[in-house]
Amino acid sequence: MRYDLTISSGSTGRIVQRMQAELVRRGEDLTVDGKCGPKTMGAVARALCLPSPKAIGRVELARLGIDVRLGIDLSGHNEGGNKRPVNFDKVKAAGVSFVWLKLSEGASYRNHEAMRQADECQRLDLPVGGYHFGDPSAKRPLDLASLAADAVAEAEHYLEWRRSVIGVPTLSDVLDLEEAYQANLTAAAWAAIGGTSRRRAELCALWCLTWLEHVERATGRKPMLYTGRWAWQAYLSAAPAELLERLRQHGLWLASYNTGSEPKRTIAGYPWRVWQFSGSGSVDGVDGKVDLNWALAEDLAP
């Protein structure tokens, strides 16, 4: 199955804004506001010598110098058991141009399928990166030193396996946040120390920042955060503003399952670099459903 991203009058978002900026660079009189209307489509028609296009896709965007790429991410759900190994020759022929692999989870799980998958990506010159599924639940007594130690242990677990599987990835390292911070306390004990939803969000944000900043120090590269609006709202949005601002210094890989030119479920003040637009896509070479992603080529560099 082939996928395309289409822009028409009424489309909004980051890719529209990038297109408008390019048209302005070419001399068009446009407001770069990320809102595509008749004036923007008219500028596209002039720039590409098209007779009043109603919609444009990645081919036309590429003619404007805007390279929007399709990628997949893989985990243990995509291979093994009754599923055939991913055929990366078919994956690449289907138009996939980058791949993220789940490498680890928590402080002990390693995805062993990722080793062959990384070798295949590198054989085919497919940009490849790794991600870690974070488990910020408190496994030790509730104090900040233990929280930091737990996040560092998971970061080191990821980095050790990443070195064995990929070496130096061509894509960013990623922390996947889909789990809440859970204090290892009874409800009564948590309440006794003033536990609130704001405090829980603060501790979750601190855990994520510790993981991200440890990986950044170890690699010299700034990792990204993968999450959806639902998880951000439930687990992080109540954290202090200064912690959320530090999180926003890391690129966002946003999950929002919708068609169009822009995620519908965005996170305020946190622009996306990679957009996971489907969790149930179909790509030649992958047995069963697979996650699909769009990204601007310039945003894929670590």
Burial class (CB in 10 A: 0-12, 13-18, 19+), 245: exposed
pLDDT for 40 equals 97
pLDDT for 158 equals 98
pLDDT for 183 equals 77
Half-sphere exposure of 16 (CA within 13 A, CB side): 25
pLDDT for 181 equals 86
pLDDT for 1 equals 65
Give tens-digit pLDDT for 226-241: 999 999 999 999 999 9
The answer to which of 1-10, 33-42, 147-156 has the lowest mean pLDDT is 1-10
- pTM value is 0.95
Residues whose CB is less than 8 angstroms from the CB of residue 58 and which lie 6 or more positions away in sequence, other chains included: 4, 5, 68
52 vs 210, higher pLDDT: 210
Using alpha carbons, list the distances in angstroms from residue 9 to 16, 22, 36: 10, 17, 5
Give tens-digit pLDDT for 157-197: 999 999 999 999 999 999 999 998 887 777 887 787 778 88
Give tens-digit pLDDT for 7-24: 999 999 999 999 999 999
Helix (H, G, I), strand (E, B) or coil at 225: strand
d(CA 67, CA 63) in angstroms, rounded, equals 9
Structural domains in the chain, CATH included, are: 7-63 (1.10.101.10), 70-299 (3.20.20.80)
Using alpha carbons, list the distances in angstroms from residue 140 to 38, 137, 185, 198, 282: 58, 9, 10, 20, 41
Query: Measured in Å, how far apart are the chain's first and last C-alpha atoms?
Result: 29
d(CA 94, CA 260) in angstroms, rounded, equals 20
